[in-house]
Structure formats: C-alpha cells, structure tokens
C-alpha cells in the first residue's frame, strides 16, 4: 500500500474512533430522548448499528491489510531470492558441464590425431584432464600382462625409489584394478608422492584413483589424480567419460603392440 493511502486510512480510522466516542458521550447525555427516538424509528437504530459495524470492519481490515501485505512482500522476496540462487547454481553447473564437454571434445580430437604417437596422446589427454579438474598430479597406468605400468604422467615428481608399476591387487592402484571400483582418499599416506613446485613440496589433500574399463569387466588401465581440491561426483562422472575414450586408445596400443 502506498504511504499516502495508508496515511489517509489512519486519519479516517482516527476520525471514526473520535466520532464513536462523541456518539457514546451524547448517548449517555440524552439517553431518554435517544431511546424514544429509536423506539419510534427502529430503522435508524439498525442503520446506525450497521454503520458502526462496517466502520469497525474497515478498521480491522486496514490493519490486517497492512500486516498481510508486509508478509506477502517477505514471502515474495524469499521466493525471488531462492529462484536467484537456483538460477545461479544451474548456471554454474551448466558452465562446468560446458567446460567438461570442451575437454572431452579436445581429447577426442587428440586421440584421432595421426601426428601424435601413443605416449603423446596419453600425456596430452592427461594434461587436459588435470587442468580441467585443477588436479596437481596425474598418472595413467596401462595393464600390460597383468602389470600396471606407468605410461603417462602430469607434473609428477619422482624420486629414485618411486614405484612406476604395480601388480594387480598391489597398492591402491592395484586394488582399483582388481576390484574395478573407484577410490577417493582424503587422508593421504605419509609416503605418498608430494606435489612439488619451485617454492617447495607438500602432500596432496585428495586423491582419486579410477579404473579404465572396457565392457565393465576388462581392466585396461588406471587413472590416478591428486590435488589440494576435493573431487566432486560430477568430476568422477567426467573422469569416467574420459576413461572410456582412453580405453579405446589403450586397447589399440595393446593390439598393435
């Protein structure tokens, strides 16, 4: 309700209350005359009573109208804010999906580039994945006669004692290949390979190890990522799509080899 209308309504209510008070005072002063008048003119009695009741209803309605209007604005604003938040989240999801789709398309092009050899295809694909997911380290292992051998890496710092191959069932990488199930860690072993930069090195906060499967039963390899940011369910779904692409490349390499 506009402020001017509200002020007019309050003034009218105030005058109505004053009028009722004045009528009441006069009714007490001239009670006998009023009783006689109402007896002779009952329609006047009913009319005045109805007018007073209407005025009272108008007063109550004005108060309720102001209160209800305030509540409606609050509810509307709440719904609008909720809708804005939902739209923002939806736009963020769409943006992430678009970025994932672009990465998938680039990997598809890369894996069909005849100018790239097998190692280049694997490592460049891994680099695109790590950049998309903001992973600090990435490794791809290929299943060669039941031995998982490292065939590609991204930003990996290797010491002389670093392991570059696992038997099926050995270590976390071997367990992922054996069970054909993804593992995500947020408690990193102290002997895990550190993330190294020019300023120092530190253990990652999160590790994601995912099997590269064909037909859901043949393990062709394993992808291992590590970083300081957690991997979401959407990230895992994206990485599963990448694994399907890499499975074809690893299978072709095994056949040609």
Same domain (yes/no): 76, 139 = no
Same domain (yes/no): 250, 149 = yes
Confidence category of residue 200, pLDDT binned at 50, 70, 90: confident
Same domain (yes/no): 58, 130 = no
Confidence category of residue 215, pLDDT binned at 50, 70, 90: confident
Work out how many domains the chain is built from and give that number. 2
- Whether the pLDDT of residue 78 is over 50: the answer is no
Report the C-alpha gap between 113 and 121 in whole angstroms.
8
Domain boundary among 24, 56, 81: 81
Task: Specify if 65 maps to a domain.
Answer: yes
**What does the pLDDT look like over 123-141, one tens digit per residue?**
999 999 999 999 999 999 9
Same domain (yes/no): 121, 241 = yes
Residues 248, 206, 109, CA angle at the centre, nearest 5°?
Answer: 25
Counted residue by residue, the chain has a size of 257
Task: Specify if 239 maps to a domain.
Answer: yes
Range of the domain at 182: 117-256
- Whether the pLDDT of residue 121 is over 50: the answer is yes
Structure tokens at 142: 């290929």
- The CA–CA distances, whole Å, from 173 to 78, 107, 179, 189, 207 equal 49, 23, 10, 14, 11
- pTM here is 0.62
Same domain (yes/no): 40, 125 = no
Share of the chain above pLDDT 90, in %: 46
Q: What is residue 67's predicted lDDT score, i.e. its pLDDT?
A: 42
Same domain (yes/no): 160, 61 = no
CB-based contacts of 39, cutoff 8 Å, min separation 6: none
Q: What is residue 252's predicted lDDT score, i.e. its pLDDT?
A: 85
Q: What DSSP string runs through 4-63?
A: HHHHHHHHHHHHHHHHHHHHHHHHHHTHHHHHHHHHH-HHHHHHHHHHHHHHHHHHHHHH
Structure tokens at 165: 């191959």
Same domain (yes/no): 131, 250 = yes
Cβ pair 153, 139 in contact under 8 A = yes
Same domain (yes/no): 132, 54 = no
CATH number at residue 197: 3.30.450.40
**What does the pLDDT look like over 88-118, one tens digit per residue?**
455 555 556 788 999 999 999 999 998 999 9
């Amino acid at each position: 309700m506009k402020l001017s209308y509200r002020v007019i309504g309050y003034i009218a209510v105030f005058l109505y209350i004053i009028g009722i008070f004045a009528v009441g005072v006069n009714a007490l002063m001239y009670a006998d005359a009023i009783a006689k008048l109402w007896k002779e003119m009952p329609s006047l009695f009913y009319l005045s009573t109805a007018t007073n009741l209407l005025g009272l209803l108008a007063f109550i309605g004005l108060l309720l109208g102001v209160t209800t209007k305030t509540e409606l604005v609050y509810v509307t604003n709440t719904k609008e804010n909720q809708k804005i938040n939902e739209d923002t989240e939806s736009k963020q999801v769409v943006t992430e999906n678009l970025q994932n789709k672009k990465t998938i398309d680039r990997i598809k092009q890369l894996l069909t580039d005849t100018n790239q050899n097998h190692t280049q295809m694997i490592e460049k694909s891994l680099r695109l994945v790590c950049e998309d997911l903001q992973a600090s380290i990435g490794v791809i292992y290929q299943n060669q006669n039941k031995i998982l051998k490292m065939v590609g890496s991204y930003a990996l710092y290797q010491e002389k004692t670093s392991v570059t191959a696992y038997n099926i069932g050995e270590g976390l990488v071997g367990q992922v290949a054996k069970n054909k199930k993804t593992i995500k860690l947020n408690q990193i072993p102290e002997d895990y390979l550190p993330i190294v930069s020019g300023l120092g090195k530190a253990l990652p906060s999160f590790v994601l190890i995912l099997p590269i499967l064909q037909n859901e039963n043949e393990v062709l390899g394993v992808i291992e990522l590590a970083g300081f940011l957690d991997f979401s369910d959407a990230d895992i779904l994206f990485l599963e799509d990448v694994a399907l692409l890499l499975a074809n490349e690893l299978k072709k390499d095994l056949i040609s080899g």
